[in-house]
Chains A and B, each alone.
Chain A
Amino acid sequence: GAVVSQHPSRVICKSGTSVKIECRSLDFQATTMFWYRQFPKQSLMLMATSNEGSKATYEQGVEKDKFLINHASLTLSTLTVTSAHPEDSSFYICSARVDRYEQYFGPGTRLTVT
């Protein structure tokens, strides 16, 4: 099946710094990738939809200036958490769309902001 990778798998950063998370589709091209956030014992929540070559579409309540998304190629989308705060600590997971209703998930990135 299709493989989606994420890097890094785990990151610890200081409050106020920025962190970039990469999501790659390894053996297929994805015009659409999704970014989710998951807090402990909660379900995944969609943050934004990333479309190759155009601006991301953010869900209500997600600050686009804080969570910068770039989808510069058909195999790579990046999420940058700017000026990170402890409340941004969470599990971030991306997925890449294969067709209209099918998508494959990356392994996730655990972000801890100290």
Chain B
Amino acid sequence: KNEVEQSPQNLTAQEGEFITINCSYSVGISALHWLQQHPGGGIVSLFMLSSGKKKHGRLIATINIQEKHSSLHITASHPRDSTVYICAAWLRGGNEKLTFGTGTRLTIIP
């Protein structure tokens, strides 16, 4: 079992819909990232957070440390939001390193 789990793996929605992608982790973390991976493979960092909530444009990221859970929300989704979103966490203990979820492929239909 992966220490960082994402759901859903694939998500298709209509343009304008409110999107939620979930990330849960099994151990304590120091920080969590939400990343966007484009078709060519390049990765862009959207958010880094260790508590609370962050907002940038139509994107909102929240984290609940006690419940070991984070969500990425997209409001007023648009076809250009279609790509892969990845959750990654710095897991505490021993060899601290960034551990990645398997990603969520989002497709927004016009």
Interface positions, chain B 45-84, Cβ under 8 Å from A, are: 45, 48, 50
A43 to B86, CA, bound (A): 8
Size category of the binding interface on chain B:
20 to 34
Question: Does residue A93 face the partner (Cβ distance < 8 Å to B)?
Answer: yes
Q: Separation in Å of the A24 CB from the closest CB of chain B? A: 15
Q: Is the interface of B mostly helix, strand, loop or mixed?
A: strand
B30 touches A101 (CB 8 A): yes
Most A CB within 10 A of own CB, among B2, B90, B98, B103: B98
A108 touches B98 (CB 8 A): no
Size category of the binding interface on chain A:
20 to 34
Question: Does residue A87 face the partner (Cβ distance < 8 Å to B)?
Answer: no
- Identify 9 new A-B residue pairs, CB closer than 8 A, beyond the known A34-B98, A44-B100, A49-B97: A43-B2, A44-B88, A93-B41, A100-B30, A101-B48, A102-B45, A103-B98, A108-B43, A110-B41
Interface residues of A (CB under 8 A from B): 34, 38, 42-46, 49, 91, 93, 95, 100-108, 110
